[in-house]
């Protein structure tokens, strides 16, 4: 699991998430953020921030060859909501300035970067990688797959590689994963309805 990072170009006037929110409140609709398309987690994360912070940033969906990261670095959009694993290199190189991580609390890979929840209480978005099987898979097979994933994640080399990418390696039980996914579906379904996001 890993959070997303809200970041801006290194030369951006925004030094904190509070600065960004204040500007968005002062100039509704002027600030924009990119995503790889409507309904993606990047898009929905921005809409969640809009809803919870009481702001109106404009979503700019890109399809095909345009990269949201390239658009931010090129100055064509104002901020980036991107997975930690994809943005940490640009942050560490100084090309991007991290304003906040979307985990509930500060993240080990960027300990000096505040969480969004420090400014917008209750905000939390995390990305995860999970292993699934079809619904009819026998329970003993599911348990064996889970045991093998746990074994792989116990490897020091595997754990270190995931940490280097900004992740927090961990394995859940099949029932824990099911519960997590059900909660995520409910959360995003509610946001989509409240923000009137059209299904694509």
Of 199, 195, 12, 197, the closest CA to residue 99 belongs to 12
pTM over 0.75: yes
Q: What single DSSP character describes residue 167?
A: -
Digit-by-digit pLDDT tens for the chain (200 residues) are: 789 999 999 999 999 999 999 999 999 999 999 998 899 999 999 999 999 999 999 999 987 555 888 899 999 999 999 988 888 999 999 999 999 999 999 998 899 999 999 999 999 999 888 889 998 999 999 999 999 999 999 999 998 888 887 788 888 999 999 999 999 999 999 999 999 888 77
- Alpha-carbon Rg of the chain, whole angstroms? 18
Q: How many CA atoms lie within 13 A of 77 on its CB side?
A: 23
Distance CA 120, CA 45 (A): 13
Distance CA 120, CA 107 (A): 16
Find out whether 114 and 108 touch, Cβ atoms under 8 Å.
no
Distance CA 97, CA 131 (A): 33
CATH architecture, domain 2-127 = 3-Layer(aba) Sandwich (3.40)
Distance CA 135, CA 7 (A): 39
Beta-bridged to residue 80, according to DSSP, are 7
């Amino acid at each position: 699991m890993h959070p997303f990072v809200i970041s801006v170009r290194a030369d951006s006037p925004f030094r904190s998430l509070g600065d960004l929110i204040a500007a968005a409140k002062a100039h509704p609709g002027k600030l924009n953020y990119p995503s790889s398309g409507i309904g993606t987690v990047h898009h929905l994360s921005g809409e969640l921030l809009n809803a919870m912070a009481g702001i109106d940033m404009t979503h700019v969906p890109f399809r095909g060859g345009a990269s949201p990261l390239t658009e931010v670095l090129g100055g064509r959009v104002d901020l980036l909501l991107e997975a930690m694993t994809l943005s940490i290199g640009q942050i560490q190189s100084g090309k991007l300035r991290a304003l906040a991580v979307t985990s509930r609390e500060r993240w080990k890979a960027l300990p000096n970067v505040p969480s969004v929840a420090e400014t917008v209480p209750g905000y939390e978005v995390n990305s995860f990688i999970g292993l699934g099987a079809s619904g009819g898979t026998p329970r003993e097979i599911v348990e064996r797959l889970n045991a093998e994933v746990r074994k792989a994640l116990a490897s020091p080399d595997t754990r270190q590689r995931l940490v280097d990418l900004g992740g927090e390696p961990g394995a859940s039980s099949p029932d824990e994963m099911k519960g997590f996914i059900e909660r995520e579906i409910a959360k995003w379904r509610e946001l989509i309805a409240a923000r009137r996001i059209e299904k694509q």
